[in-house]
Structure 1
């Protein structure tokens, strides 16, 4: 895939990325708010519980009821998050505890060790800013019991928030999972809309425009729908119809120009053959008679008459050749095959270059316009081979292949010059134009033996 990727992929991907980032930030913010709210709830409860248990501890210690104090602390284990509640003396020995296993032991060996450490570092109640331990999981609180003015007993409270924190994280993860799933589904729907509703339709329109430009389809296929893509396809369709109409008019005008030029060539050829040619023939016959008479009565002047007669004969031959080039008699009277055979024979006689015509099977039912265009293409290709290719042999081939009438002109010369390849040869362009007028295509290249090959393919030639 090219970079940057198409918009139908890029836009949903960017939205998905932005959605995930925003959801992650929301997850972090919600989690922080939940943890802070939970911590405030625990702190408030620790404050209230500590005040009541401290008062209760003072009453029991004043009466020396240590066992009753332990039972009272045990009764408070149902308080949410409360892990341990212990009363320690000045030396840190646990006097009473909500868990009997820690009674009589040093506070440093119990879960309240950190709370005892904080108690030794400060006097009075320790509930300043949140007292945390274990990464916002354990909340510690210390309250002085103050049984007597000299008493240094303290109440240690440990709140374990592990379950609450775990639930907060789980809830936040569920929220981010649901949010990400919704965002992903929305991005998928957006991609489907862009891909199937816009991109695929634009791709179909672009393919239709490209095929029209290459001449493979007569018009652009409309894209259905009621949006801008449909309107764009309709605009392209109208434009292509207008271009097709103009192209058809241009082809008709060009065909008319070619027909008019061909008719004019034919008229001039006939005038040369039937008019000037006949007059020159009459003059030649008169000159031949004059030469015979002078040879009998004035032999000294007979040689001049012979030279004039010979020059006149050569002029008549040139006029006939010119008239046949402008209006080839075999083409109009005997058909394309005989005209091409005559062209090959005339080329061999006039140039000394061997020119052969090959037609495996008779080619019938060719319109006069098609035959004329094919003959002119062969004539131009042969002339190009004689002028530029320096060839020793030229082949003219005519045959039907499947649904095509194929005309080929091969030579064994030096190859096609650069000018026709670059569109610079006027003769080459005229051959292409004649081929397009017939609705065919022209190819050029080198045959296996080298040289140049011009091939014209006319589909379903009438």
Structure 2
């Protein structure tokens, strides 16, 4: 609730010019903001689509280049394996052990052929042929390795088992002390194409071939790069910021993981440096590689950031223009209104001869002329205003005097009842008691009648005492008078109406304004009387409470309630309201049918605040 009030106060303006300027600015800016936001997001979305398409196109081009490189190497290896001069190696099996010179000549011829291929294809490190019978290198471009067993069995086992081309994954080679990749393919006999006479293994120079293609970052800006990962997430090539990454770094970002698992897509994700990047990724099935092309978001979205700065600059300039227009329009409307306001202030100070009319033809000009005409009419009315105020003051004074006269007469009647009728009833009571004693001594039956007369006289005395107290209550002066008066009122009301009455208050309520004491007492007395006469309650309760200087008096009953216009004494209600208005108190009467009535009177004890300040 306090926040709503603070927000409401924040939008209160001290001048109509400020208010008009503010709302003209809001009206002008709302469609502008909506249009700018729509244009901005449309352009950003279009730019993002273009950026995504460009990066995906780069990915597809690089993947196509990588597949073309694989196809070319496959053709190279197949060409070597199908060379008849290579197949001549099958003659080695037919040469006897005693003719080593012929074997050496055949091997030398094959080695020279492989070396010519090695010179012709720059992508190769080494080419060798493994014998399927001995699992040793029969011929190699590196003569020293002939007769040795390959370091890795997968060099020839994959092709030997599948009897077709086998692409080995990139791996670390201890002989080269570097990462390498090899293709292996069976070499079949010329005589029987189903017989494998050797496994041709071609090991590639990745630095001069594959890595060179991957390190080409044309079209990827200052932060872009392309890399491949194994199915285990290991980096297989050098990275832009990690030259030693192959088999020494495991890339765990989402793009690399999704690519290694066979997915294709594009996403924003942190890379291996923790930098946010835009990554396009895919999967290369025949090598089981994940391929990723990425670029830092700062660079990718640089055009969007530039667009945002331009939009902010245009928006700021537009806001300035809207403010200038709103202020000028607001002033054209508010200046005539200010003139009217100034005239009303002058007229309010009593100068009814001042004219505020203008020559303007619009509604404000017409209003100013009507205002002058109204002032002329007011001159004739003002003359009678003082007479009216004097009459109202006299009437209020008369009402107060009537109330005081009524209070005085009630007190006089109460005193007469107590002093005259009460004393006479007391004398009658004594006389009847004496008569009763005489009759009892004479043992006459009339003694019982005398006793009943004595009882009726005592009851009359009690009722006279209650009536006299109600008409003329003994109100104690001082700050404790309210509590004393309420206790006395509850006691007298319970005796008078034979209805249980209670006074409840959590703490002692002190009243310092003695002039309000009688009026509060009479309001409570009238409320109890109305409840007892009209609601037929089983219980009446008076509650007193005090919060700082606010005193709350509540009279509540559990009767059947009443309709104020029919069942309630309207004179008593008016007097209650009048008494409350005299002491500047508020009076609230809430009757409900079959639920009783609640009368609440709230009074602010200003006398207490004056005493405390003093």
- What TM-score do you get using the length of structure 1 for normalisation? 0.48
TM-score by length of 2: 0.37
Structure number with the bigger relative contact order (C-alpha 8 A, sep ≥ 6) is: 1
Bigger fraction of residues in helix: 1
